[in-house]
């Protein structure tokens, strides 16, 4: 979000990344942007962040109802923490601000701000997928949580399908019989800073790290995966597809290598620890079956890398593997494309279930559950003629430049600035109050904005 805020004065508010028994507020400034941060208490971190945001909402929104671990205590902590955020935001917001709330950690925040008398325009952007209504209503107490988004003037999603699913939920479940209109919900696919990433790719090619990587590869072509260690990313399926490709094409022995980077995330959640063990076993088995004294087919790295090092990996990879089972957008796909050398670009193999598939038509699209299809796509990418690779890359770069991070920001905020509440504010306030367990909503009159207040749960470095 730093890039999105650049060139527009405003305030960024969110979690500091620190956990303390007594949460503190911090303030810093970078150019025209002021960063206001709040710590989480250990109880907030455990119940609000881990047990509800990441063990209930994350799997739900990715369609994994089998992994939802709901508890009322975690939901109550989620509401309490959002209320604490609302109290802090209320102290810094001005009547002519525009408020832009980000992601599933802060679903009830807009309603809580309305309850505290905040009347300026409020937008909400959901970075993750929206499953069908039938999945959303499976969330215990969904009627206490999800309708809170109706307090927003504009809700943004990554894809048109996500927007349709959320509109359907509001129309058929959340607002049915309340007299409220469905809030304005539109798709705003998030972009990247194309020029900066392209420049980073060019610089990486001249770096010592890149030369060392190229030397370690020799004549081998590299396939690359860069993903957080998460069950939504389809990592076991990807490794099994690579194994299948090697079995179908034994002539590739010693000529290819697969570098999978999967930095640890949410290590306190058991599902993630199991995922790491699964990937280590898979990589070991595949290496054991295919490797020889001079060749290791898979390099599995379970750690983080600086952005400069990732640029070097992107630039060196002949094939970029982005095959999540479900993803809101997946910016790695876009970063891989932008990092390529246009004269000799790599090929992107992309899951049809990633939001990026709606824009990157030059990718080889696959169903990540289809092992044979993924194996064939890997082989096709490795053997694709140069001119076809160039054509596909130019097509994708055109899409990236037409909708970069700055365009995404301007499109959302521009639409929010043009948006008005769908019904009279007093009626809207009464309707929101009637549809929730909360009351005493006071809305101030809107006026022209002066700054943007961006609110996100993630620490500012992310």
Which is it for strands 25-30 and 256-261: parallel, antiparallel or unpaired?
Answer: unpaired
Phi and psi, residue 120, nearest 5°:
-75, 170
Kindly report the number of other CB atoms within 10 A of residue 13's CB atom.
Answer: 24
**All residues at 6 or more sequence positions from 166 whose CB lies less than 8 Å from its CB, including other chains:** 126, 130, 149, 155, 157, 185
The stretch 242-269 carries a mean pLDDT of: 92
Phi/psi at 52 (5° precision): -105, -55
Question: What whole-number distance in Å separates Cα of residue 157 and Cα of residue 405?
Answer: 15
Q: 75 with 47: CB under 8 angstroms?
A: no
With cut-offs at 50, 70 and 90, classify the pLDDT of residue 2.
low
- Cα gap 214→375, rounded to integer Å: 24
Entry pTM: 0.90
| Structure token pair of residue 164 | 């349709």
Q: Which domains does the chain have, with CATH numbers?
A: 2-190+406-456 (3.40.50.2000), 194-402 (3.40.50.2000)
- pLDDT average, residue stretch 414-442: 51
pLDDT in tens, 92-118: 898 888 999 999 999 999 999 999 999
Question: Which residue from 411, 454, 337, 383 is spatially nearest to 9, judged by alpha carbons?
Answer: 454
**Alpha carbon 220 to chain centroid, angstroms:** 32
Nearest alpha carbon to residue 40 among 23, 61, 60? 23
pLDDT of 230 higher than 80: yes
Helix (H, G, I), strand (E, B) or coil at 428: helix
Asked whether the predicted pLDDT for residue 153 surpasses 70, the reply is yes
Q: Which pLDDT score is estimated for 461?
A: 54
E runs forming strands in 56-142: 98-102, 121-125
Q: Which residues are catalytic?
A: 127, 327
Overall average pLDDT of the 161-166 stretch: 98
DSSP secondary structure string, 139-194? STTHHHHGGGGGGSSEEEESSHHHHHHHHHHIIIIISTTT-PPPPPEEE------H
**Which candidate, 12, 21, 62, places its Cα nearest to that of 45?**
21
């Amino acid at each position: 979000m730093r890039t999105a805020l650049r060139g527009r004065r405003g305030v960024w508010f969110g979690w500091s990344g620190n956990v303390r028994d007594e949460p503190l507020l911090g303030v810093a400034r970078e150019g025209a942007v002021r960063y206001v941060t709040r710590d989480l208490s250990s109880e907030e971190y455990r119940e609000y962040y881990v047990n509800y945001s990441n063990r209930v909402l994350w799997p739900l929104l990715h369609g994994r109802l089998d992994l939802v671990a709901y508890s009322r205590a975690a939901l109550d902590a989620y509401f309490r923490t959002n209320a604490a955020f609302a109290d802090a935001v209320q102290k810094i917001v001005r009547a002519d601000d525009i408020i832009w709330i980000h992601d599933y950690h802060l679903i009830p925040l807009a309603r809580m701000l309305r309850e505290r008398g905040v009347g300026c325009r409020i937008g909400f952007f959901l970075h993750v997928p929206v499953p069908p209504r039938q999945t959303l209503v499976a969330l215990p107490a969904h009627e206490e949580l999800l309708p809170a988004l109706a307090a927003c003037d504009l809700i943004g999603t990554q894809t048109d399908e996500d927007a349709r699913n959320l509109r359907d939920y509001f129309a058929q479940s959340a607002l049915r019989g309340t007299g409220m209109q469905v809030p304005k919900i539109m798709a705003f696919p998030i972009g990247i800073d194309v020029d900066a990433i392209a420049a980073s790719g060019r610089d990486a090619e001249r770096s010592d790290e890149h030369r060392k990587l190229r030397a370690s590869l020799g004549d081998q072509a590299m396939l690359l995966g860069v993903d957080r260690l998460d069950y939504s990313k389809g990592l076991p399926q990807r490794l099994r597809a690579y194994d299948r490709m090697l079995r179908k094409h034994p002539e590739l022995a010693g000529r290819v290598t697969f570098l999978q980077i999967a930095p640890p995330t949410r290590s306190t959640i058991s599902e993630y620890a199991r995922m790491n063990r699964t990937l280590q076993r898979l990589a070991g088995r595949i290496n054991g079956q295919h490797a020889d004294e001079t060749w290791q087919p898979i390099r599995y790295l379970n750690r983080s890398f600086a952005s400069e090092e990732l640029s070097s990996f992107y630039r060196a990879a002949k094939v970029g593997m982005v095959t999540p089972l479900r993803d809101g957008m997946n910016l790695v796909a876009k970063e891989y494309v932008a990092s390529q050398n246009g004269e000799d670009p790599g090929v992107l193999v992309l899951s049809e279930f990633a939001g990026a598939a709606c824009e990157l038509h030059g990718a080889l699209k696959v169903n990540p559950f289809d092992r044979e299809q993924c194996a064939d796509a890997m082989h096709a990418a490795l053997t694709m003629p140069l001119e076809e690779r160039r054509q596909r890359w130019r097509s994708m770069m055109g899409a990236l430049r037409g909708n970069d991070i700055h365009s995404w920001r301007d499109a959302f905020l521009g639409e929010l600035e043009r948006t008005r509440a769908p019904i009279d504010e007093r009626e809207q306030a009464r309707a929101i109050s009637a549809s929730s367990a909360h009351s005493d909503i006071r809305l101030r009159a809107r006026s022209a904005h002066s700054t943007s207040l961006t609110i996100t749960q993630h620490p500012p470095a992310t």
